[in-house]
Amino acid sequence: MDSSFLELIKFLPRWGNIEDLLQDEIEARYILKKGTTYMERIRSGDSNGDSEEEETRYLMCALVDRNWERIHTGHFSRVPLAIRKIYAIGCYFKIFFLLLESTSPAQRELCSGILDEAQLLGCMDDWSDLKVALMDYLDKGGSESPEPLPILVPLNRILSSCDIAQLEAPSLNEFKTKCFQPEQPTLLLNTIHHWPALEKWLDLNYLLQVAGNRTVPIEIGSNYASEEWSQQLVKIRDFLQRQFGKNKGNQEIEYLAQHELFSQIPALKRDICIPDYCTIGKEDQPGAVDIKAWLGPAGTISPMHYDPKHNLLCQVFGSKKIILAAPKDTENLYPHESEFLGNTSQIDAANLDFDSHPLVRKVKFFELLLQPGDCLYMPPKWWHYVRSEAPSFSVSFWWE
Count residues near other proteins (CB under 8 A).
26
Of 277, 309, 313, the C-alpha closest to 400 is 309
Taking the C-alpha atoms of residue 151 and residue 67, their distance in angstroms, rounded to an integer, is: 42
Please name which of 304, 302, 310, 271 lies closest in space to residue 396, comparing C-alpha atoms. 310
Strand arrangement of the beta sheet that strand 320-325 belongs to = 301-305, 383-388, 320-325, 365-370
Stretch that binds other proteins, among 58-66, 156-164, 208-216, 267-275 (CB under 8 A): 58-66
User: Interacting stretch for other proteins, rule CB under 8 A, among 35-43, 94-102, 143-151, 228-236?
Assistant: 228-236
Min dist. Cβ of residue 324 to other proteins (A): 29
161-180 binders of other proteins (CB under 8 A):
none
Give residue 304's identity as a one-letter amino acid code.
M
Find the binder of other proteins among 9, 62, 110, 133 (CB under 8 A): 62
What's CA 211's distance to the chain center, in Å?
12
**Contact pick of 20, 46, 69, 355 for other proteins (by CB under 8 A):** 69
Q: Which residues contact 229 (CB under 8 A, 6 or more apart)?
A: 219, 220, 221, 222, 223
CB of 72 or CB of 193, closer to other proteins: 72
Q: Give the nearest distance from C-beta 73 to other proteins in angstroms.
A: 5
- Of the candidates 7, 54, 252, 331, which one interacts with other proteins according to CB under 8 A? 252
**Residue 354 interacting with other proteins (CB under 8 A):** no
What is the identity of the amino acid at 147? E
Amino acid at 372: P
x/- site string to other proteins, residues 16 to 35, per CB under 8 A?
Answer: ----------xx-xx-----
CA dihedral 298, 231, 214, 59 (to 10 degrees): 180
Contact with other proteins (CB under 8 A) among 41, 70, 321, 357: 70
Minimum distance from CB of 139 to other proteins (Å)?
22
> Maximum distance among all alpha carbons in the chain?
76
> For the residues of 292-349, what is the DSSP string, one character each?
EEEEE-TT-EEEEE--SSEEEEEEEES-EEEEEE-GGGGGGS-B--SSSSTTBBSS-T
Residue from 238, 290, 307, 348 touching other proteins (CB under 8 A): that is 238
Residue 248 in the binding site for other proteins (CB under 8 A): no
Site residues, other proteins (CB under 8 A): 26-27, 29-30, 55, 58-59, 61-62, 65-66, 69-70, 72-75, 220, 230, 232, 234, 238, 252, 338-340
